[in-house]
Amino acid sequence: MDLKEKLVSSFMAFEGQIDVDAPVHEIRSEAIKVFEQKGFPTKKEESWKYTSLNALLKNDYTVFPKEESALQFQDVKKYFLHEIDSYKIVFVDGIYSSYLSETSHEGLDVCLMSAALSKPKYRLIIDNYFNKIAPKDDGLTALNTAFSREGAFINIPKGKVVEKPIQILHFSTGKESALMLQPRNLVVVGENAHVQIIERHQSLTENPVLTNSVTEIHANRNSIVDYYKIQNDAQTASLIDNTYIAQKKHSHASVHTFSLGGNITRNNLNFYHLDERIDSTLKGITIIGDKQHVDHSTLVHHAQPNCESHQDYKGIYADKSTGVFNGKVLVDKIAQKTNAFQQNNNILIDDRAVINTKPQLEIFADDVKCSHGCTIGQLDEEALFYLQSRGIPSKEARALLMYGFANNVLASVKIDEVKKRIKKLIAMKLNVNIGFEL
């Protein structure tokens, strides 16, 4: 039985386990039909041309995580941004860990998707927002929808400026020989509200993990949402991240994706503009080696006038690693005065590394400012000699150049601790320990 068949047949059992009367019951049944029909994407699809899931789908995944595995905070502390006060929603092998979490219902909801889907008091929100922006015809998203039970539910009421960042962490312990996870997050940010979220997936063993995550974010009028994805997972962990963001008037939303590890990582990041004067920021730093693969597939749909989008992705590829940047900017005919910028710069530090970069601009309005640029290069030998001639050894000089290359992406990170953590991870990744402020 292949994975698709296994999932489809498991669905029945799953359905029985949960409340059949829940409002999402119908949504789930529709979704499994879509998945049954579409299945997993293959390289024949244009948007999956350079990323193959075949090898991943061969594992015999456990799809229903059982009871919570105990983890000691000390053992996983380093994966938290523990230096700052924050809310935490933590899952271990897909099961909520109340012990490691710090949720809240005081003036906001930082809690669990399972609670939101089952409790009557959230019914209205679920009706209004759940599965509203995620496309209905995407196989992977539909799969997640069908199995959606657990994840983070974040509901920030009107006017609330959330001081503490919210951390969403997923650990896998390797208790299962192979584990498939389907986390589902819903973030609703009210008018004039402000929230910062940090997400991380971390496998603690070498057992294969495949995470197919869906996050829907609704940024209402005048709201500010800053989302940071720290991807530095184990060599045997793969992630398909599907994030959908719908923005209303005057809202600002930013997503920074730091892809520094993992087996196969696919980031489907989609922004939809529902009104005018919206600002969207999509930034990323990718530094990988070995045979790692990172695919950034972005979409910004400018559907209204006077909006801006800023994309800046930097990639450094070593060894036999491969990268993909597929950045689509769609500007509708009515979206006049759109400012859309897209930049993708790459350094290949090994002849065997490969990057496929493909900007796609589809512009139907005539009064717009849209620009895109992509570069693929090597480290500048002249610059290297310059640094070495000042006493900086070759390895450190290379690291300094790479850091300098990626650095500007960090400028828009608003949480200092995130910045520090990323710099540290980059230094680790580049295998240097040097005096400059990494």
Q: Binding mask 193-212 vs another protein (x if CB under 8 A, - otherwise)?
A: --------------------
Q: Which range in 53-61, 175-183, 200-208, 399-407 contacts another protein by CB under 8 A?
A: 399-407
Contact 196, 223 (CB under 8 A): no
Q: Which range in 22-30, 139-147, 267-275, 392-400 contacts another protein by CB under 8 A?
A: 392-400
392 lines the binding site for another protein (CB under 8 A): yes
Instruction: Give, for 324, the enclosing helix (H) or strand (E).
Output: strand 322-331
57 lines the binding site for another protein (CB under 8 A): no
Minimum distance, C-beta of residue 404 to another protein, in the bound complex (Å): 3
Minimum distance, C-beta of residue 354 to another protein, in the bound complex (Å): 24
- For the chain, the distance separating the N- and C-terminal CA atoms, rounded to the nearest angstrom, is 48
Closest CB to another protein among residues 85, 380: 380
**From candidates 404, 414, 424, 431, binder to another protein by CB under 8 A:** 404
| Distance, CA of 297 to CA of 148 (rounded, Å) | 23
Closest CB to another protein among residues 137, 381: 381
Closest CB to another protein among residues 384, 428: 384
Q: Binding mask 329-368 vs another protein (x if CB under 8 A, - otherwise)?
A: ----------------------------------------
User: Strands, DSSP E only, in 173-291?
Assistant: 179-181, 184-189, 194-203, 209-219, 224-232, 237-247, 252-261, 264-273, 279-288
Question: What value does the CA radius of gyration of the chain take, rounded to a whole number of Å?
Answer: 21
Closest CB to another protein among residues 297, 345: 345
393 lines the binding site for another protein (CB under 8 A): yes
The CA-based diameter of the chain, rounded to the nearest angstrom, is: 72
**Distances in whole angstroms, Cα of residue 365 to Cα of each of 250, 271, 305:** 21, 18, 9
The rounded Cα 207 to chain-centroid distance in angstroms is 22
Closest by CA to 379, choosing from 411, 345, 408, is: 345
425 lines the binding site for another protein (CB under 8 A): no
426 lines the binding site for another protein (CB under 8 A): no
386 lines the binding site for another protein (CB under 8 A): yes
400 lines the binding site for another protein (CB under 8 A): yes
Tallying the residues shown for the chain, one arrives at: 438
Name the residue type at position 372.
H
Q: What's the token pair of residue 421? A: 């953590």
HSE, CB side, 13 Å, CA atoms: give it for residue 114. 14
89 lines the binding site for another protein (CB under 8 A): no
Minimum distance, C-beta of residue 296 to another protein, in the bound complex (Å): 20
Q: What's the token pair of residue 207? A: 């057992």
CA angle centred on 205, ends 201 and 207, rounded to 5°: 95
| Distance, CA of 204 to CA of 327 (rounded, Å) | 32
**From candidates 133, 383, 427, 428, binder to another protein by CB under 8 A:** 383
381 lines the binding site for another protein (CB under 8 A): yes
7 lines the binding site for another protein (CB under 8 A): no
387 lines the binding site for another protein (CB under 8 A): yes
Q: Which range in 223-231, 302-310, 364-372, 382-390 contacts another protein by CB under 8 A?
A: 382-390
Contact 103, 168 (CB under 8 A): no
| Distance, CA of 116 to CA of 152 (rounded, Å) | 9
**From candidates 89, 144, 396, 413, binder to another protein by CB under 8 A:** 396
Q: Which range in 52-60, 129-137, 219-227, 395-403 contacts another protein by CB under 8 A?
A: 395-403
Q: Which residues bind another protein (CB under 8 A)?
A: 380-383, 385-394, 396-397, 400-401, 403-408, 434-437
